[in-house]
Amino acid sequence: MPDWLITGCSQLLTLRGGVPRRGKALGELGIIRDGAILTQGDRIAAVGPRRRLERLRAARRAHKINLGGRVVLPGFVDSHTHLVFPECRSAEYEQRISGATYDEIARSGGIRSSVHKLRRAPAKQLKARALANLQEFAAHGTTTVEAKSGYGLDWKSELKILGVLHEIHQEQPIDIHSTFMAAHVVPPEFRGRADAYVDLIAQRWIPAVATAGLAEFCDVFCDRGAFTVAQSRVVLSAGRSCGLVPRIHAEQLEHTGAARLAIELQAASADHLERLTKSDIRALGLSNVVCTMLPGCCFHLGLQHYAPARALIHAGAILGLATDFNPGTSPTLSMSMILSLACTQMRLTPAEAISAATINPAYSLRQHDRVGSLEVGKYADVAAFDVADYREIPYYFGVNLCSMTMKRGAIIYSKNL
C-alpha cells in the first residue's frame, strides 16, 4: 500500500496522552490546528503541524491527500455490537410504539425470535448481511468493532456465528474482536433448567471456544429475564480461567449487582448501566472496568432513563460509548448518532463523547497500544469529517458527515474527496 501525507486538517484530534481517560482528561483531545499525518505502510510515521511534516524527506515521496479543512480524528472503536443476525425485527418496533413493553415483546419474540431464524439461516446469508453492515460502519468512520455471538444458543449455531466472524475478519479491513455470548438468554430447550445450560456453557463450550481461538472475550446478559449474578459468575469465571476476558451486560432493566460482579472479576467492560446505585458508581470509579454506555438502546426503546454518565465521570470511572448495534433494541451503526445522544441525553461534552468513542473503548478491547489515537507507531486508522469544528459532528444529529475512512493505511471509504 502507498505511504500517505494527509494535510488540510483544520483540526487534527490526536487523542494523544494517558490511557485510559478519566475525569477532566476525558475532554482532552490533543488538537493540532492545520495538522498533518504521515503514514508508512499500515502505521503512523509522524503526526504534527503541516509545515513541519511537509519538510520531512519521507513526506516528499508519499502520496498526497489534501482534506480541504476537514476535521480528522482516530477511527471510531465500537466496543459493543451484535453484528451477526439473520434479519431485522421491525415488527417489534411497531409493537413497542403501540405500547408493548420490553418484557411482553421478549415473551412473544425478542431475542428468541432472532435465535429461531438464525438457527435456520445459512452461514453464507449471515456473512453477506454482516459484510454489508461492515461497509456501513466504515462509511460512518468506524474502523474497529467488537462483535458478539448469542443469537444461536446451541453449539452448532454459536459455532456458526463465530465462524462467520472469523471469516469476515480475514476478508475485509475493519478489525473485529469476537466475544462468545452463549449466555444471552436461556434457550427454549432449556426452559426451567437455566443452571444446566450455564453448566454446559462453562464446562464444555467455553473450553472448546478458547482452545480453537474463536473468541477473545466472554459475555453474559445478567438481568431480569436472563441470567442471575450467581449464574453469570459461573460463566465469566470459566471464561476467565480459559483466557477469555470477561465483559458483562449489567444493570439495564433492573439493579441486580452485575456491576459489582464486573469489578470482582476485573471485567474489561460493564455495559448499559442504566440502573446503577450511588455506591455502584463510587465502586466503578475506583476500578479499571470500562463503563460502556449504550444510549442508542435507550433511544430506540423510548426510555427516559439513561445511564448516569456525569456521575460516573465525577467518580473517576472510565467511560466508553458504543452503538449496541442489534436488530431488536439498537439498529444503528452510526457512532456519530451515538455521540449526539450522549451529548443531548447524557450531558457529555462533544470532546468527552469523542474520547469515549475512541481511546477508552480501545482500552476495553485491550487494543489501546494499536488504535484509538493518532500517534506514531499506531495503526493508521483515520476518519475525516466534512465539518470545520469537531463539535459539529454530534451537533448535526442523524447526519453522516464522514468523508473518508482509512484503516491501517488503506482508504476503505471516500466521499467528495
The string of pLDDT tens digits covering residues 330-355 is 999 999 999 999 999 999 999 999 99
Summarize pLDDT for 222-235 with one digit per residue, the tens: 999 999 999 999 99
Q: Can you read off the three cell numbers belonging to residue 3?
A: 505511504
**Is the Cα dihedral 357, 360, 361, 367 positive or negative?**
positive
Ranges of the chain with pLDDT below 50:
none
CA angle 298, 131, 326 (to 5 degrees): 15
SS3 233: helix
Q: Which regions of the chain carry the CATH code 2.30.40.10?
A: 4-75+373-414
CATH of the structural domain 77-364, one choice from 3.40.50.2000, 3.40.50.2300, 3.20.20.140, 3.40.50.2020: 3.20.20.140
Beta strands in 358-409 (DSSP E): 382-385, 402-407
In angstroms, the CA 349 to CA 339 distance is 9
Q: Looking at residue 96, what is its pLDDT? A: 81
For the sheet containing 4-13, what is the strand order? 43-49, 31-40, 4-13, 63-74, 382-385, 402-407, 410-414
Residue 230, C-beta contacts closer than 8 angstroms, at least 6 positions apart: none
What pLDDT, on the 0 to 100 scale, is given for residue 108? 66
- Residue labelled with grid coordinates 465539518: 387
Q: Is 252 helix (H, G, I), strand (E, B) or coil?
A: coil
For the chain, residues classed under CATH 3.20.20.140 are 77-364
Which DSSP category does 379 fall into? B
CB 69 within 8 A of CB 12: no
- What's the predicted TM-score (pTM) here? 0.96
Number of H helices, E strands in the chain: 18, 15
3-state secondary structure of 138: helix
**Total Cβ atoms within 10 A of residue 39:** 27
* Closest to 5 (Cα-Cα) out of 34, 40, 30, 42: 40
Give the gyration radius of the chain's Cα atoms.
21
Topology of domain 4-75+373-414 in CATH is Urease, subunit C; domain 1 (2.30.40)
H or E segment at 181? Answer: strand 175-183
- Residue 99 main-chain phi, psi, to 5 deg: 115, 0
